[in-house]
Amino acid sequence: EVQLVESGGGLARPGESLRLTCTASGFTFSSHVLDWVRQAPGKGLEWVSGISGSGGTTYYADSVKGRFIISRDNSRNTLDLLMNSLRVEDTALYYCARMRRETGAFDVWGPGTVVAVSS
């Protein structure tokens, strides 16, 4: 079964760091672009970051550029998001999502992990 499962969410204070991990199974991990998408409470979906299959190319939304770092380990089938200098507005449910090749669309999503930033 194709599956993505996020972990690492929790409560942090402004300025602190958190690392999210997405563990994949059931597909050839290195063949797919993977992204992080977040959803603040009661709000819409916001794209956060993406990474190529090899890990050599990364992309970030302006709202997190310079603070978040996306990476992947193709030997362990894991995707990470290191979130530094956290802000209250980073509070959200964070999803990892698989991009289907040649479509630009996310066909597999994890259940998400909650990040809460509060003083």
Strands 106-109 and 92-99: antiparallel
- Indicate the residue among 72 and 98 with the shorter CB distance to another protein: 98
Q: Which stretch binds another protein (CB under 8 A): 7-15, 16-24, 81-89, 108-116?
A: 108-116
What phi and psi, each to the nearest 5 degrees, are found at residue 56?
A: -80, -15
**Identified binder of another protein from the candidate list 5, 12, 61, 69, rule CB under 8 A:** 61
Radius of gyration, alpha carbons of the chain: 13
Interface residue with another protein among 86, 106, 113, 117 (CB under 8 A) is 106
- Sole binder of another protein in the list 50, 64, 81, 115 (CB under 8 A): 50
Assigned token pair, 87? 């802000």
- One-character DSSP codes across 91-112: -EEEEEEEEPTTT--EEEE---
Q: How many CB atoms lie within 10 A of CB 68?
A: 23
- Cβ neighbours of residue 52 closer than 8 Å, sequence gap 6 or more: 33, 58
Q: Is 45 in the site for another protein (CB under 8 A)?
A: yes
Whichever of 9 and 112 has its CB closer to another protein, that residue is 112
CB of 46 to another protein, least distance (A): 7
112 near another protein, judged by CB under 8 A: yes
Distance separating alpha carbons of residues 7 and 20, to the nearest angstrom: 6
Binding site for another protein (CB under 8 A): 35, 37, 44-47, 50, 59, 61-62, 95, 99-100, 103-107, 109-112
